[in-house]
Amino acid sequence: MADVAELKEKFAIPGVLAFEKTASGLVAARVTTPAAEATIYLHGAHLTHWKPAGEAPAIFVSQRAEFVAGKPIRGGVPVIFPWFGERHDGKSGPMHGFARISEWELAFAAMTGDELHLAFTLAPDDQSRALGFDHFRLSYRVTIGRTLTLQLTVANDSGSGGAREASIETKAMGAPLVFEEALHTYYAVADAQKVSIDGLGGTTYLDKVDGMKRKVQPAGMLKLEGRTDRPYLNTEATCVLHDEAGGRRIVVAKKGSATTVVWNPWKELTATMADMEPDSWLHMTCIETANVGEDSLTLAPGEHHSMRAHISIEKIA
Ligand code: TA6
């Protein structure tokens, strides 16, 4: 668990970046700049709040979210690695992988102009090694301002330092790293029944609500009309979330991501989720910047890959 005193000593910026240990024992970075405020937990490098100046918060977090080591926080931006959803290589492991329930380290913090740049890192630990992952490094760069930029970089560091850890076969041999990844972002909306999403027309998706059937999104806007759970494949498109009731658009541009997942649990599924209030499905919609399924990635030893989401807010005149 991160040491708050050490974080304060190394990274605190008076009036901009502060650290606190919350009642549940997790350590949070609290950001306040002229352009925006934000909160990011070292647990999962989990951003739970981003509010550009003059705007309502743009990221949803459940009022019943649990802030407990080893458990995922409901809402915000869960960082998903090295698998998406259920582990699907025949082995067991936590839903959506271990990154979002791991303790990340803060490696960098600096203000440039009115933007705060943070960098978090995650290296193999006992949990990841027990799950068969000992040859990866993650860095997660978060830039907080009037816009929000999230960049997840995955490196395969097997084959390097083999002598140091020759006992670990994959490390010495240099094994490929096969993984899925997602920035599982919960956007805050005023009424999900009046939300439409532009950018996915003509794109193939798997309909997880209809037996994973492969379908093509009709041209035009995607309107949410019920539980929606769709990985859209082979798309680099920018998505625009029109929050009609909220009077704004949330623009999600991306780079290095071939999958966009759209999720809203809707009323019935939400009623079964202990960490969601019954009507909270109305106030969130996930547009997830990802590489999953047939878009999953393989890195040779020494290779790395970056995926970035750039999020901005526009008022609907
Ligand atoms: O991204 C959509 C999804 O895969 C849904 O199927 C649902 O499982 C959601 O993620 C949330 O997963 P979680 O493990 O956070 O409850």
The pTM assigned to this predicted structure is: 0.95
Mean pLDDT of the chain: 95
Dihedral class, residue 205 (left if φ above 0, else alpha if ψ from -120 to 50, else beta): beta
Q: Is the pLDDT of residue 17 over 80?
A: yes
Would you state the structure tokens that stand for residue 265, as one six-digit string?
A: 């649990």
- What does the pLDDT average to over 259-287? 98
- What does the pLDDT average to over 126-134? 96
Residues with a catalytic annotation lie at: 184, 288
Can you say how many angstroms the Cα of residue 101 is from the centroid of all Cα atoms in its chain? 12
Can you say how many angstroms the Cα of residue 235 is from the centroid of all Cα atoms in its chain? 18
Q: Which run of H or of E encompasses 170? A: helix 169-173
Residue 204 phi/psi, 5-degree rounding, is: -75, 140
85 CA to middle of ligand 1, Å? 6
pLDDT for position 160: 61
* Ligand 1 pocket residue status of 96, Cβ below 6 Å: yes
* Ligand 1 pocket residue status of 293, Cβ below 6 Å: no
Domains of the chain: 4-315 (2.70.98.10)
* Ligand 1 pocket residue status of 100, Cβ below 6 Å: no
Atom of ligand 1 at shortest distance to CA of 72?
A: 15
Q: Report how far apart, in Å, the C-alpha atoms of 107 and of each of 7, 42, 192 are.
A: 10, 11, 37
- pLDDT band of residue 55 (cuts 50, 70, 90) is very high
**Is-contact 261 292, C-beta < 8 A?**
yes
Residues 307-316 have pLDDT tens digits of 999 999 999 9
- pLDDT band of residue 163 (cuts 50, 70, 90) is very low
- What does the pLDDT average to over 232-240? 98
Atom of ligand 1 at shortest distance to CA of 273?
A: 16
